[in-house]
Structure 1
Amino acid sequence: MQSDDPAGEDKTRVRDAATVIVLRDRATAPKILMGQRGAAAAFMPNKVVFPGGAVDPADAEVPLAAPPGETCRARLAEGAPPRLVNALAAAAVRELWEETGLVLGRPGAWPGTPPADWARFAATGHLPSAEGLTFVFRAITPPGRPRRFDARFFLVDAERIAGDPDDFSGAEEELSHLRWIPLDRVREADLPFITEVVLAEVAARVAHPGPPPSVPFFRNSDEESLFLRLHGRPMPE
């Protein structure tokens, strides 16, 4: 896991990141898994957030038992290097594991020694799987913030979790107070603005499983802020 203030980090650059929205009881009483960031965190202190974090260099080399769906891959590749697609999916699986202890994966043995950040995940006897991830939102942190991320938000049903979705015993300490919050009450929590925006998209997806018609993209730069839609483009050969 990347620390909140890694030594030597260029705080002005925009880092690619993946965020995971786990949805439970979609058809009956939808709930979302969230946790609270620490008071000393440089980015969004004390806020209630989805699990997620920056892409690590090793994520691009991680073997996926299954990639994201074709539509999701095409949209992730829009305006991004091809190698980043699997890295984003792997980062989503890793961050969910690190911050909640929940496994998105299939039983299987790793080919060789896993990267250090993946050692605990590999020890569960699973390979990471991105087949249940649906790419639903992208947003770049506005200029002037202490950290900036180009974050891709993935929605996944809790049924994809390998094991007990209430067992957070394997979580590290990035998030506290992990809990399933009813979707119709989640705005009562202390949320970042972008989380509130993403939740509107999640609510629309509850009744319509599968990839959305297009993916909203808030692109913030020093020059302008744009609201775009990602429809996907053909994957390179």
Structure 2
Amino acid sequence: MTAAGAARDLTALRDAATVVLVRRGVDGPSVLMGMRGAKAAFMPSKFVFPGGAVDPEDAGTALAAEPDTAITARLQAEGRSESNVTPRQILVAALRELAEETGLLIGKPGQSDMTGYREAGLVPDASGLRYVFRAITPPGRPRRFDARFFLADAATVHGDSDDFSRACDELSHLHWVPMAEARRLELPFITEVVLAECAATVAASGDGPLLAPASVPFFDNRENRSRFIQIGSEE
């Protein structure tokens, strides 16, 4: 690839956020997944977690509480010089995409301009999100994202976690999948990797609050050669 081509790939990157929602019960943990449409430009007909690109409007949306300082620091680590997206925007985008694609809300009572939250009288709350993974789409794909993945407990969802009546049509077959069986679905490679990381975090958390990982795995595909590092590692 020429230098000009590489530059075009970098500028095509969009910041994105994804929520891995886990529901724990006597039969073991389950995760919420849906299938992308067969004609989708990115990962068609694959089962994925709810998520999508960060929007400029996300910068103006307030959260119920300030982001955790450790999450903020990690979201800023290994940043891209061409992106001015803030940690707050990424967290807001994660909750907005969850609301749009599943109809599920994580918030506290209050007034917000975000669709879904406004009607429910809630302000989006990111305090329960655990930053667990980051991945940049390799060059040559029809869409390229710098995606951050957040793990969240379904116990923090406002209302019925089985009610997807307010979801948009971007994901079909929304359902809770036992974590132990999720790999049987048609998954993108990166979704399989994130799933394994989340399963390990859930297992380590036991019945208590979801733990924050000691470091965040990062698949960095900004260049032709993939690079795997740990964000926040002391090594």
TM bucket, shorter chain: 0.7 to 0.9
Cα pair 1:90 1:128 within 8 Å, conserved: yes
Among 137, 158, 164, the alignment partner of 2:154 is: 158
Cα pair 1:76 1:232 within 8 Å, conserved: no
- Which amino acid is 1:221 matched to? R
1:58 aligns with 2:57: yes
1:228 aligns with 2:229: yes
* 83-92 or 50-59: bigger deviation: 83-92
**Aligned counterparts of 2:54 and 2:16: Cα–Cα separation in 1:** 5
TM-score between both structures, scaled by the size of structure 1: 0.87
Among 168, 176, 196, the alignment partner of 1:172 is: 168
Q: Which residue matches 1:77? A: 76
* 52-61 or 221-230: bigger deviation: 221-230
The verdict on how the C-alpha distance between 1:127 and 1:187 changes in structure 2, with shifts beyond 3 A counting, is same
1:213 aligns with 2:209: no
**Aligned counterparts of 1:128 and 1:16: Cα–Cα separation in 2:** 19
Please, which runs of 5 or more residues in structure 1 have no aligned partner? 1-9
Cα deviations by residue, 1:147-184 (Å, 9 ceiling, x for unpaired): 00000000000011011000000100110000000000
- % of aligned pairs identical? 55
Cα pair 1:141 1:148 within 8 Å, conserved: yes
SS state of the match for residue 207, structure 1? Answer: helix
Cα pair 1:75 1:232 within 8 Å, conserved: no
Q: Which residue matches 1:183? A: 179
1:107 aligns with 2:109: yes
TM-score between both structures, scaled by the size of structure 2: 0.87
- Which amino acid is 2:54 matched to? V
**Aligned counterparts of 1:57 and 1:193: Cα–Cα separation in 2:** 29
- Which amino acid is 2:29 matched to? P
**Aligned counterparts of 1:109 and 1:167: Cα–Cα separation in 2:** 22
Cα deviations by residue, 1:174-205 (Å, 9 ceiling, x for unpaired): 10000000000000000000001111101110
The verdict on how the C-alpha distance between 1:128 and 1:53 changes in structure 2, with shifts beyond 3 A counting, is same
**Aligned counterparts of 1:221 and 1:63: Cα–Cα separation in 2:** 31
| 4+ residue runs over 6 A deviation | none
**Aligned counterparts of 1:101 and 1:13: Cα–Cα separation in 2:** 29
Shift of 1:68: 3.2
1:138 aligns with 2:134: yes
Shift of 1:74: 1.4
- Which amino acid is 2:60 matched to? E
**Aligned counterparts of 2:31 and 2:233: Cα–Cα separation in 1:** 27
SS state of the match for residue 194, structure 1? Answer: helix
Structure with higher helix content: 2
Q: Which residue matches 1:23? A: 22
Q: Which residue matches 2:199? A: 203
SS state of the match for residue 197, structure 1? Answer: helix
**Aligned counterparts of 2:14 and 2:184: Cα–Cα separation in 1:** 29
Q: Count residues in correspondence.
A: 218
**Aligned counterparts of 1:167 and 1:11: Cα–Cα separation in 2:** 39
Cα pair 2:214 2:233 within 8 Å, conserved: no
- Which amino acid is 2:89 matched to? A
Q: Which residue matches 2:43? A: 44
Cα deviations by residue, 1:73-107 (Å, 9 ceiling, x for unpaired): 21111133685100000000000000000001111
| RMSD (Å) for aligned C-alpha atoms | 2.0
- Which amino acid is 1:90 matched to? V
Shift of 1:232: 7.6
- Which amino acid is 1:103 matched to? L
